[in-house]
Structures are given as C-alpha cells and as structure tokens.
A and B are shown apart, each in its own frame.
Chain A
Amino acid sequence: MKRPAGYGADPTIRWTEWLPWIAAVAVFFLLPEYLLFGARILTYILFALSLDLILGYAGIVTLGHSAFFGLGAYTAGILAARVGLHDPLVLLAAAAVAAALLGVATGAVILRTRGLTQLMLTLAIAAVCLEIANKATPITGGADGLSGVTIAPILGLFRFDLFGKTAYLYCLLMLFAFWWVVRRLVYSPFGAALTGIRENTPRMHAIGAPVYRRLLIAYTLAATIAGVAGALLTQTNQFVGLNVLGFEPSGELVVMLVLGGVGRVYGAFVGPLVYLIAQDVLAKQFPQYWYLGIGLILVLVVLFARGGLLGIADALAARRRRRGMA
C-alpha cells in the first residue's frame, strides 16, 4: 500500500492488510519457541510505525527517536523497580505521558529548524538522554542497566511467562491498537496535511495551513507511541539497558524503516521483521561480521529498491497489472 493519505483514498481495510495479523497469530501457534523474539519484533514494529508517522508522512528526518523509546523504557522500568508500580497498563500510560511531554518540549524547539540543523538537534537530544541515563546510576542503574523490574499480571489475570506467550499476545494487541490509530491518522485530513507538508512546505503555508502546529502534533504523537514501544520492551524483558538510548538505536530504526519502505505504514512492519531476523541469523553464523550482512542488504535496497522492500512488491504488482492490460 503506497502512501495512502489523501481525499481520494479509500479508507476501507483491504484484505492484504489483514495478512500481517493472520501471520502474527499463526506464529503464536506454529512457532511457540520464538515468542519472546516475536514480542521483540512486534515492539520494534511499533517503534518503527511511530517513526514512519514523522519521517514517512511529515518528512521530519530524525536521528534521535530513541530518546522517546528510551524514556518510555526507563519510565516503565523505574516505576516498576524503584517506585513499586507494577501494573503493566498503568506503566504503559505513564511511559506514554512521559514520552509525550518530552516530545512536545523538544519538538517545540527542533521543529522551528530545518535540514541539517534539525537532524543535529535530534541527535543531540538522544545523546543528552543517553548521558543522563548513564550518569543517574542510583535511579537508572547506569551502565549496568536497570534490573529488578517486576510486572504484575495484565488486568490481574495474565501473568508474563518464561516462554513469552503473554508478552507476545500483549505486544500484538498493543501493536494492533496503535496500527489502527496510525492508520486512521494517515487517512484523515491531518494525514493528508502531513503529506502536503512533506511534499511542499511553502505551498502549505500559502494555503493557510498552520504547518508548525501540525508538525508538533505529529511529533508528539510519534513520541508517545515510541514511549509505549519502549515500555513494552521493558515489560517483556523485565530489564532496561543503555542500549535503548542514543544514536545507535535511532540509526538502526531509520535503517529498518528504509529497508521496509518509508511512508507506507507497512514498511514499518516489513523492515524490523527482516532486519531483526537477519541480525539474529547472521549473528549466529558470523558473530563478528554480522553487521556486514546487514550493510550489504541495505546497500542493495538503496541502490535497487529506493522504495524499500515494499517498493519492490509495488513495482512487481505494477508490472503484472501492465502485462494484464497488454
């Protein structure tokens, strides 16, 4: 599905859009030994979905999106390990609020800038967050990470188990809920306006659109979703490490999204899935050189599939349609 925003777009959910969900449910029954890994993939899909909203639709290039993911992860972790709040849904809500506040505060500054300045500011915000987490050892655990995170059963009924069954279904439900929200946003006039801003900001000003306000809303929403994704990671791992913050996870996320296809909603599904599976397989085969394999995949995508893996699928479908018409 390529860039669905617009007044002429049909918002009805197509049958192909159900495929990821059918596949995800099938994995639960068919691959029970991979459910913890599956929960991690689902978390990163949610994280990538939040990035797609601002990078793919609004055209905000960021290398600091992990600030929100990390803040969400640490908020959930600190509240559970240090404050004694263990309810997973309360922790998710707290992480969402914290990330939203950081989103609106940092967005208010960085969205007044463009291009390289904006990119550097996003990077700086992520770096500052990483350093705070690193130095505030009594609260965050510093370089050793935050352990002792215990999570209560969901709704008092569903306990997080060792095999990741609850975690997988919990992440899947959360992803489904936020996918539905993001999809609504993308198809709404707001989504069309974001696409307009990405396509031609001066023209959006010339038609009287409050560009800055729209970007700030989108940025805050994306930060909120990233915060929720971070909290999900904490809840499923019951641990938070510094690797959720800084340039590396931000850059990795951009790579995942580019791999899947930017500005397509489902690129955020395909990218993390392929990236994390490739990482898992390559790291087992070539523990020291697995980044080389990821790099090669990315180079091939950038050279031959500018629209990401979904772009290839689009091109093949278009070719098939043309053949059918001929």
Chain B
Amino acid sequence: MKTIDVSNKSGVVEIILDKEGMEVVVVGTFEVFDKDVRKLHVKIIHKVPHTRATTTLKGVAWDAGQLKLSGTIVIEHEASQTSSFLTEKILLLSPKAHAEAIPNLEIHTDDVKCSHAATVSKIPEEHVFYLMSRGIPHNQVEKLIVEGFLKM
C-alpha cells in the first residue's frame, strides 16, 4: 500500500492505478488565509481490475480565502472488482471565505464499489461553547478545533 500526500498542492494531480492489486491512500490537508486562492484537482484513474483507492481531502479557509477542491474517480471498463472512495471536507472560518467542492465519478463498468462524500460547514457552535466553557479563550478554540479537524 502506498500513501500519497497532496497537502497544499495546486493544479492537477493524476494518480493512475495500472497494476493489478495496487492499493493507494491519498491524503491532503489544505489551509488558505487572507485572499489566497487554492485550486486542486485530484484524478484517480483505475485502469486494471482489483485496485483500491481511498482519497481524503480536508481543507480550512480563513479570512477571505478561497479553496476549490475537485476530485474525480474514473473506473475504466476493464477495471472490475475495484473499490474507490473519495471524501472532501471543508471548514469555513469566516463569512468571506469561499469554498467549492466538486467530487466527480465516472464509472464504466458494474462490478465496483464506489462512493464519494463532501461537506462544507463552519465550526459548530456547540463545539466552540464546549471548549470555552472549559476556560479556553475564543481565539484558541478555533485553532484547536482546526488542528483536530486537519489531523488524518
């Protein structure tokens, strides 16, 4: 099993699974501040049978930062008995922060297990309240939660 880290990368990353039995884990964490714009497209292409990929992307946008994460899973016609999962999670820390999540699937055969999930939200107020009620000041609360969120 191979782990590929795409943290804070931009542009297009293409991961091709072309050996039978190949297994990859793709992870990436992202943080954008001020007026930064970060755009990443991860493409996972399954070309042969019995391949497996798990992709997890987590991002945090502060200030007026913009985070655009796309992920595409392609399972080609020959690549049966494949499983591939993609998760994208984005936290927005300011009302001016922008996020774009595009998780695509292109499945050309039937014997596969494939899914993707994406969420975009702010820090739940209960979480903030819980930590603050234990004496942690507000500015540290956010940092703590973000740290925990980005841990793989």
A and B together in one complex: no
* Chain A residues near B (Cβ < 8 Å): none
